[in-house]
Amino acid sequence: MNSLKRIIDFYIFSNIHVALAGFCITKITLVKFGVLGNLTSLFVGLSIVISYNFIRLYEIKTNRLNWLKKWFFVHKKSLLILTFFSIIGLIYLMFFTGFNQKSIYILFPFVFMTFFYVIPLLKVGKIEFSFRNFPFIKIFSIAIAWAGITVFFPLLEAKYALTTDAYIEFFERIFFIIAITIPFDIRDVNTDPKSLKTLPQVFGIKMTKLIGLGLLFLFVVFEVFKKEISFIEVVISLLISIITAVFLLFSNDQKSRYYTSFWVEAIPIIWFILVVLFL
């Protein structure tokens, strides 16, 4: 039992799980737009392993993730090996496949938002200025970065013209990412610095859940505005919004990290399974 827990902990805390979620949600974009045989979903997954572990290291060094510090340094060799092979994989994809290297440019603003969400843009004395330190910016910077990386990037890499449907998909993805990020903010409502002014800190947990439900409603409604849409796509969007809503409604500040870091993070994986089975 302890061995299984160690495996699960490594899978979650080494960011393999969130990388798999990133892979799946990028693959969803490619499948929905009929792009086959594309490797950008793997590129996104490997990039998440590298960037998230780098961010974790920075946060631990700056005493922001004390709960993870002991585990991180016990497994530092394994994390280093994982990150090293992820970098090798990324290099291979970029230079030894038919990867469209020009598409990298679209990543710049979103990568900027991702890194400077944690790492300060500038520091004046003991005051750090990063996206996470601006009220309400935290959740929106995460959502916009993920939406751009998992919608615009794979389509542009495949030289797919950004149609109206692509932009609708981008906004849908923002709504969805915010909705699945809210349980994390609810979990951390009492431990996050008050200066962050996260949605639960400002509006309270109940109102924040209603905001999340409203975003999931928009996530489904926006589907009907697409020019190329099938009934089954609407049904899948409705089903995944219901699953997300259930996790959202049951979230509270007493839930364990496994509830958010495993189950909530698994929603994109469930979404991808539904897409593969029915589209």
The residues spanned by each domain of the chain are 2-278
Which pTM value belongs to this model?
A: 0.93
How is residue 234 written in tokens?
Answer: 């609407």
Share of the chain above pLDDT 70, in %: 93
pLDDT at 196 over 90: no
Question: Looking at residues 205-219, what average pLDDT do you find?
Answer: 97
State residue 65's pLDDT score.
80
Helix (H, G, I), strand (E, B) or coil at 253: coil
Sequence-distant (≥ 6) Cβ neighbours of residue 129 within 8 angstroms: 120, 121, 122, 123
Residue pair 198/192 in contact (Cβ under 8 Å)? The answer is yes
Cα dihedral 120→153→259→198 (10° resolution): 40
How is residue 258 written in tokens?
Answer: 């496994």
Per DSSP, 106 falls in state G
Phi-psi region of 204 (alpha: psi -120 to 50; beta: other; left: phi over 0): left
State residue 230's pLDDT score.
87
Question: Taking all residues of the chain, what is their mean pLDDT, rounded to a whole number?
Answer: 91
Residue pair 43/92 in contact (Cβ under 8 Å)? The answer is no
Q: Taking CA 53 as the corner, what is the angle to CA 52 and CA 59, rounded to the nearest 5 degrees?
A: 85
